[in-house]
Amino acid sequence: MGSSFEAGTVGYGAVAGIRKALMSVIFVCCGFAAAAESVVVAALGDSLTQGYGLIEEQGFVPQMRRWLAEQGADVRLINAGVSGDTTAGGAARVGWTLTPDVDAMIVALGGNDLLRGIDPAVARANLEAILAAAAAADVEVLLVGMEAPGNYGPDYKAAFDAIYPELAAAHDALYAQSFFDGLDAASDPEAALKLMQPDGIHPNAEGVALIVADLGPKVLELVQRASE
């Protein structure tokens, strides 16, 4: 991504910080208390986030919106998922995803890197750029992991699987082990298959509901962090 990307994100972070500070001064000087606003969360991802193969209301973001509302959370969740996107695509567009109103971000990328056999070091660098951009913009992050299949070999799997927990720890981001944990595929593979679309890659509406229920508490924790 290079120094130009990093410089851009740092510049944006400074502007965002100045903007927030000025707004606080305006409200104090005018004697008004700022009204509580919804926490704005951008879901940066690929087809899993975008809702591939499903009618809009069945996708991850709409189902997560409903789940959060049922918990009483005042959240505006933005669908920033792009089908086919890799970690490189996410890094390339994170700057314009992080608009001044965004308070937090869910990052769920890496599945397409796995499908293409992209070097784990490249995926790591891209995800690090995304987390650095979020930090520069003072945006809290939930990093959702992705686990490599065994057919790439143990070295590849170990290197790829380690990316997410290590980057989350390094950047003080919240961490969820896998987007698919809610499907419980390890203990009941046959049941998990029934929760997938015919392509075996994307969850069906019922599968998305289980994924949302599993990730929902982490998203609530993200919202709480962003509210502090």
CB 133 within 8 A of CB 141: no
Q: Which amino acid is at 20?
A: K
| Catalytic sites, residue numbers | 47, 199, 202
- pLDDT at site 28: 36
Beta strands in the chain (DSSP E): 39-45, 75-81, 104-108, 140-144, 174-176
| Assigned token pair, 142 | 């939930």
- pLDDT at site 123: 98
* DSSP assigned state of 169: H
CB 131 within 8 A of CB 96: no
What are the pLDDT digits (tens) for 45-98? Answer: 999 999 999 999 999 999 999 999 999 999 999 999 999 999 999 999 999 999
- pLDDT at site 82: 97
What are the pLDDT digits (tens) for 101-112? Answer: 999 999 999 999
Q: Which amino acid is at 156?
A: Y
pLDDT range class, residue 187, cuts 50, 70, 90: low
Topology of domain 2-227 in CATH is Rossmann fold (3.40.50)
What are the pLDDT digits (tens) for 29-53? Answer: 333 333 458 999 999 999 999 999 9
Nearest to 67 by CA among 223, 227, 178, 226: 223
User: What residue ranges do the domains of the chain occupy?
Assistant: 2-227
- pLDDT at site 192: 83
Higher-pLDDT residue of 145 and 14 is 145
- pLDDT at site 190: 82
| Assigned token pair, 83 | 């089908």
What is the rounded average pLDDT of the residues 198-220?
97
Q: Residues with Cβ < 8 Å from 206, sequence gap 6 or more?
A: 195
Alpha-carbon span 9 to 2, nearest angstrom? 12
Say yes or no to pLDDT of 158 above 80. Answer: yes
What are the pLDDT digits (tens) for 98-154? Answer: 999 999 999 999 999 999 999 999 999 999 999 999 999 999 999 999 999 999 999
